[in-house]
Chains A and B, each alone.
Chain A
């Protein structure tokens, strides 16, 4: 199990330690798993320094995909190569996949129970609020930076997708190059 992988550190965690750590991260994370990943990997187990964490995390944010899922793959591969990556990924995604599947089956079975519908209506209203708060937190550095072009891009993306309902590929194709050009123009 703990077979040595050439490019992994000699005191790297074993595959089962990795699996259990990402299982724990996954099951503690409601509405955002990132803080739990940081607590586990940096503060509790000290498998990475804070600087290494932010270095790896910047990659995970740079590329598309769920940040924490991306993180599990890069972190796992740094510790134990490809097998480490697979183990961390399945620890993070596998168990919640099972839970959500069970809840999905219950929903499909009991969707017409009126009381359940009412509870879910309340929870759905709250879920929208959580996403709105996430957007607001992400926007904080932008608001402080007073980069007005950035506010314009935020507004354009919000209008095009949230109010008009245009398809995402076209909106990205138009807005992403424009936004990158504006970032370049600001720092030229």
Chain B
């Protein structure tokens, strides 16, 4: 393994972690752009597969970066991307937690948050679009995406049931 790759992964994900307003889902398109189009670490299909695995596993959804790191540089890569993605936000929040009550009700704080919310929503919608373009190769796949979105939005069915159903449709060769 090239030693430079770990440093590259670290830099990429350190920067990304500080842009993750709205959580991990908001930076999915950037991870995808970087991993597939810019750095050529994996194909569209591999990225979509890894994302599906991360969503169907328990735990915080930030673990997509663990899988990307593993795919690129094995266990060391997984450790580096996960630590880089969690490190800066955890440090910020640890120190901000001590002074939060001082500026929680400040006008600037409320305005900044009000401004960031629509940006994050647009980014998460963009993540759905980017992933759909990577994953949906035929109209049945598009239907599965739309049906899952509708079910998840309107019902409280556990996501694992949706993954099981979609996985079976895939196994049957329909997706």
Binding site for B on A (CB under 8 A): 26-33, 55-56, 58-70, 73-74, 77-78, 82, 85, 89, 92-93, 95-97, 99-101, 103-105, 107-108, 111, 115, 117-139, 142, 149-151, 153-158, 160-163, 165, 167-169, 172, 175-176, 179-184, 187
Contact = CB atoms under 8 A, between A and B. Distances in A.
Given A28-B58, A100-B53, A74 B29 contact: no
A63 B50 contact: no
A65 B47 CA distance: 21
A100 B53 CA distance: 8
B128 interface: yes
Given A100-B54, A156-B122, A180-B111, A124 B149 contact: no
B80 interface: no
Contact of B86 (A58, A89, A181): A89
Contacts of A134: 25, 124, 152
B78 A65 contact: no
Main secondary structure of the interface of A (DSSP, over half): helix
Contacts of A156: 122
Contact of A127 (B17, B51, B82, B111): B51
Say whether chain B's binding surface is mostly helix, strand, loop, or mixed: helix
Contacts of B146: 129
Interface in B113-172: 113-132, 134-137, 141-142, 144-153, 158-160, 162-163, 165-172
Interface centre among B124, B147, B168 (most CB of A within 10 A): B124
B1 interface: no
A77 B97 contact: yes
A162 B125 contact: yes
Interface string B61-76: 1110011001100010
Interface centre among A66, A92, A117, A121 (most CB of B within 10 A): A121
A130 B15 CA distance: 26
A150 B167 CA distance: 36
B119 A69 contact: no
B10 interface: no
A118 B170 contact: yes
Given A27-B59, A138-B120, A154-B118, 16 more contacts: A62-B112, A100-B59, A104-B66, A107-B50, A118-B173, A123-B52, A126-B144, A128-B128, A130-B162, A132-B132, A134-B124, A135-B125, A135-B127, A154-B119, A162-B126, A179-B118
A49 to B, nearest CB: 15
B84 to A, nearest CB: 12
Nearest to A105: B70
Given A56-B97, A65-B93, A123-B170, A179 B119 contact: yes
